Structure 1
Amino acid sequence: MSSLDGTVLVTGGAGYIGSHTVRALREAGRDVVVYDSLELGRREAVIDAPLVIGNIADSDLVTATCNEHGVTQLVHFAAYKAVGESMKSPAKYWRNNVAGSVELYEACLAAGVHDVVFSSSCSVNGTPAAVPVSEDAPIHPESVYAESKAMVERILHWCGQTTPLRSVALRYFNAAGASFDARIGEDWTYSQNLVPLAMKALLLGNPRLTVFGNDYDTPDGTCIRDYIHVDDLADAHVRALDYLGSGGDTTVLNIGTGVGSSVLEVLEATARAAGEDVPHDIMDRRPGDPVITYADASLANATLGWRARYGLIEIIDSAYAWHRQQVDRSLPRESQES
């Protein structure tokens, strides 16, 4: 039986990118089982997929889940991802992101699961020496979080050399947006990403958004990033599983649009979607922020036949629709009717 005929285990499948990927896999006709601690994930984001609540370091539960559900492939999202927290509590990141991943892979191997798609990050490159950033750019993490992703990439490389396990590590650039039916999206409660913070400032007015620096050597003085729609990211995971299921070798791929957008361009797109400006303050530069980074995603196109379908307008429009709906649902009925 091909690994494509079995079930996909999605760790962290109740989280932001994970839940969109679960939905994409089900729409592609794949059987899925979600494995999530629900520490940061949301049960409702899983929609109607089977959910197992547990920690990735619980080897017995992982192996039992694989055996019970006929798992043949793994997509691994479960990780802590707050850069600032990683510098204050590094052991938390070593234990969960690195040691937990090792336990997860060993448990999956014990259940005969050999195909792994790993949620990595462009942060493994740190401040890039040149753009667009290609997969052979130097690995230079600038935070414990980024180092944890780089370490797991190396672990997967050596797993490919010493075990039957084969993997695709997808280095995301800046995930953003929401499903186009506004059913699932990014919870701004814990997020430190620009788009949800801009939406929070716009829709709630407090806190105002902080823009760190407007004196960079860019057209409008603010930092430039590669924003990629979460549904495009989900599509990349489906294609990566297909690639492995068809006998593909272990590889690392950038997943981005290849187009950079500045902070002020994101705020302008948000103002266009909402019909009002985002309340914000310009502050001093923040240490460690790369000035410009965007992806060379040509290898993902050549390897997976993947390319981004959506741009900044679709990202902002879908995010605004999602966050607007969440705010409307939280208002008392009389406030909605007034």
Structure 2
Amino acid sequence: MDTKFFTPNQIDQAAQAIRKGELIAFPTETVYGLGADATNEAAVKKVYLAKGRPSDNPLIVHIDSLERVIPFVDNFSGKMAKLAEHFWPGPLTMVLPVKKGSISASVTGGLSTAGFRMPNNTVTRQLIAKAGVPIVGPSANSSGKPSPTTASHVYHDLNGKIEGILDDGPATVGLESTVIDLSGDIPLILRPGVITKSQIEAVVGKVEYDQHLVKESETPKSPGMKYKHYSPDVEVQMIDAKKENWQEAIRYAKNQNKLIGLIADASILKRFQTQVDATYSLGEEHQMDQAMQHLFAGLRALDEKVPQLDIVYVQTFSEEESGLAYMNRLKKAAAQNFF
């Protein structure tokens, strides 16, 4: 089977495939998701198979309207409603208690909670509306690899494994949504994203980060908490923004006869691009939104298009506000390794 590409004018065809239990990758403002009918257990299981995803890693349910949440969640009000009013549609996932038996254990990982998000992408909300069902949507990539921010990234990983890809151009945010758990007394951020802790606290008051380490025997409440994520095949090392030791790192790699890739902003590339074998720009200097948008694309580009590289050095940023989301993904891609 060769995976098909659908344009925004072919949403009806993509929605029909969803209704038939097929898998359709779809665009969002964050990354491309791998869509299946969330109410069809057989279809949901296909998602895990296509990605090679562990079965205890829960899936986020994507919706087109608040009405689509009601069948699954008791008493959608209070902090849930306030956050939805301020941030939906948008890159915020809310982990909510679900009605017993309302949603498959294949979606929740066997938990009594599920994550819900309304993406800020008109094409995908139309897809959900035309399909008439909520759709699960983990990132549309091979499990553990950098998340896809373009339709071509999806095709690279999943061609022949899924029915089609609904192409609406590159993702504008580039990192997955912020995930907040509202099932307890105090809201907990399970995964940082472009919507920050301070922005959420301005709406609902005190919020904390989930600090506990998920055990091997434990089912995580959110993707990105337990398993290896975002890792290309090539070795990735971080260059500490405070040390600015690019020259030392390049010299060391050259002494080891290694071919070097560099992912950094335009000012750093201007200084060092002639000394390395491949580069990818994170955008202009000090532009965090551009760096987030280009991180996964850069990791994929150097890993897939320059396969002979031995090491890729990547620029770090301060772990404040949205920089925390960038560093959360980069640290996992680099297995926590700084040069």
When normalised by structure 1's length, the TM-score is 0.25
Q: Which has the higher helix share?
A: 1
